[in-house]
Chain A
């Protein structure tokens, strides 16, 4: 917890400064700096291999950045320097939650259990680190009830209340994606990092996802970082866009600005020759 510092007056939720991540000779992220604000969706886009997932891995403590500072301003708890924290402390204390590009649920456990597990630290304390729980003290039972209430709240928002007792692995793909988002929200984060949440969704599911993300932004007031290839999602809901290419930040600004930025267009057009899946950013709203 020595990473907590006192508020220095900056209003940004997340401040990334000179972030560099090197794997041997490969520089996956090269001197990237940007800010993300609360109540905003900040999209991170870029061709395959641009370093988007690596950025998330640095933010959530899976990688230690080679160089750079990742400062998170938590409205209640003060400032955290994420690059100095243990991976599992980042969601627990700094309030950064994430989802994965390849869904990582607990497939053999029920939907509800997945959501309860996201509240592990809270429940662990309430169970008196298991001792009170073993004795069945009311303190723990109340906490468990509250945890179920929070889980139910999110289940209602992703339309999975009916299937709360299913094994998570038996859900259709789209539901698994939304469940992973709900699970991340159950950690009660201030910054939610979503790695390609719309990948593999059909248009209907994709638009439901848009609604869910804007709901989270507007009603919960937290900041979202969104990696996405689907430009209709990106242009439709993001407030701010950061464009990465070969580890460098080539542009950043409003959707309107990015759409017309020649650097971005050329990066994507260059990509277009080898990869047909990627939409051109100007492709529509």
Chain B
């Protein structure tokens, strides 16, 4: 494709028309979305207009499109000449124009937009310079890129042996590092929760290949199971945890039965509906679940029966009095951090182990070819149901942890967007890749949480990341599959020099 594109050069008229079309679309979108803003001013609401933003967005879309077309056709020199100064100007404006007018940043009102614009123009100019340098060098074909990325995946998987334990070691000492304040630990807990959920969903989506858009349902079942068990039966966290897991697994089987015959898009839609059904039940069964009011006062987990609070509710020992420590509110956070770390590691070890057992291999085989599975005497029904229920069980564990950490849950926490985020983590990381899930969770949860300004662009970034993955690397960042058992030692490892 690239050779063909390189040979033919789009006439200027076509190029201008293409770019003009793009500009019209961007204008249409940004006119209403960016052009007007409702602001709270003293005495009511006012509509502000920001037509400069619309103008710049349209102009940039027009120029950017021309740049993309020309780059694709390897006419790099004009791009190199224009894009680089643009990048530099944007950078300078962002960095120094603030001194002129402290009210706003330049060229756009949002630093994130400015930085993204800068990176895009910089990337374009670097590419253009590279192309000018290696003049005539054809762009790498899609196949070659896939191969190269797979090699990267393989390398990373190879390195996972060191990266994995290194990350684990870092997580283990994190609470005691000097910069670990409460905020960082909270983010760590959040990231670990999503890592655990990602690993759980990975069983269903990555291994068994069943596209599940309703994973949050099991998270909700786990959370409500614990909250209700604690409320009605006074069960502690560690007693309720396995029960919550079993109930979630049961919900997984319940979902599994009707969707046994569905695959792909149809399966995705039904699971999506299932997630909504659970949420709506929780919302409407007022007498049992408290409906929209949710459930509050969910007991915190205890350290072998010792509470991690200032004063024990029953007047007995607490964690700090028992060990003769001074009370510090961060103890509880550290405890939660280690708890979710342990739960996540359990999920990970379980997945790694079960992948090498017949059932794990059967899940993968089912993903590859269900008809072949039948012809070998595998029971596809049972295989699918176990995948659904075990994936759901880990979702349920995660939900219980969520409930005990928050102390309060309501159906609002279990909307579709949660399912989408967890699925995004699995897909972005590379289906079936354990380490990929970790990186994707840090990228999608940790970073936006840490840099609050990014928060409002999170969905945008999500969408962008997804589109880019689908275009560049449909199998996910670190997708590379190692056989579950080998006849010969892997090349380069068994041999001793």
Contact = CB atoms under 8 A, between A and B. Distances in A.
Interface in A119-138: 120-121, 123-124, 127, 129-130, 133-134
A104 interface: yes
Contacts of B379: 88, 92
B374 A88 contact: yes
Contacts of B375: 60, 91, 97-98, 100, 104, 184
Contact of A130 (B354, B377, B380, B485): B354
Nearest to B486: A165
Contacts of A112: 483, 485-487
B361 interface: yes
A73 B368 CA distance: 32
Interface string B358-371: 11011011001101
Contacts of A62: 371, 374
A91 B354 CA distance: 25
B358 A133 contact: yes
A161 interface: yes
Contacts of B354: 130, 134
B357 A91 contact: no
Interface residues of B, number: 31
Contacts of B364: 106, 108-109
B69 interface: no
B119 interface: no
B182 interface: no
Contact of A105 (B358, B372, B484, B486): B372
A151 to B, nearest CB: 8
A117 B357 CA distance: 10
B65 to A, nearest CB: 38
B362 A113 contact: no
A110 interface: yes
Interface residues on A, range: 35 or more
A68 interface: no
Nearest to B359: A130
B165 to A, nearest CB: 20
A152 interface: yes
B41 interface: no
A109 B365 CA distance: 8
Contact of B377 (A91, A105, A133, A165): A91
B45 interface: no
A164 interface: yes
A30 interface: no
Contacts of B374: 61-62, 87-88
A120 B362 contact: yes
Given A117-B376, A165-B488, A109 B368 contact: yes
A106 B490 CA distance: 20
Interface string A77-93: 00000000001111111
B365 A187 contact: no
Nearest to A183: B376
A222 interface: no
B416 to A, nearest CB: 30
B483 A120 contact: no
B353 interface: yes
A84 to B, nearest CB: 17
A253 interface: no
A233 interface: no
A106 B374 CA distance: 12
Contact of A113 (B353, B369, B485, B488): B485
A140 B488 CA distance: 21
Nearest to A99: B375
A116 interface: yes
B368 to A, nearest CB: 4
A106 B378 contact: no
Interface string B336-356: 000000000000001001100
B377 A117 contact: no
A148 interface: yes
A107 B369 CA distance: 9
A88 B368 contact: no
Contact of B358 (A90, A124, A184): A124
Nearest to B369: A104
A113 B372 contact: no
B310 interface: no
A88 B353 contact: no
A164 B487 contact: yes
Contacts of A148: 485, 487
B104 interface: no
Interface in B459-493: 481, 483-488, 490
Contacts of A19: none
Nearest to A121: B377
A87 B371 CA distance: 10
Nearest to A126: B358
A134 B361 contact: no
A3 B358 CA distance: 27
Nearest to A124: B358
Given A62-B374, A104-B371, A117 B361 contact: yes
Contacts of B371: 62, 100, 104
A96 to B, nearest CB: 9
A88 B378 CA distance: 6
A62 B372 CA distance: 11
Contacts of A100: 371-372, 375
A118 interface: yes
B376 A91 contact: yes
When A and B form their complex, which 4 residue pairs have the shortest distance between CB atoms, in order from nearest? A92-B377, A91-B377, A164-B487, A110-B483
Interface of A: 60-62, 87-93, 97-98, 100, 104-110, 112-113, 116-118, 120-121, 123-124, 127, 129-130, 133-134, 140, 144, 148, 151-152, 155, 161, 164-165, 183-184, 187
23 contacts: A61-B374, A62-B374, A88-B377, A91-B375, A92-B377, A92-B379, A93-B377, A97-B376, A100-B375, A106-B364, A109-B364, A112-B487, A117-B362, A120-B361, A120-B378, A121-B377, A124-B359, A127-B358, A130-B354, A130-B357, A148-B485, A164-B488, A165-B487
Given A120-B365, A130-B386, A133-B357, 7 more contacts: A97-B376, A110-B486, A116-B361, A117-B376, A118-B376, A148-B485, A165-B486
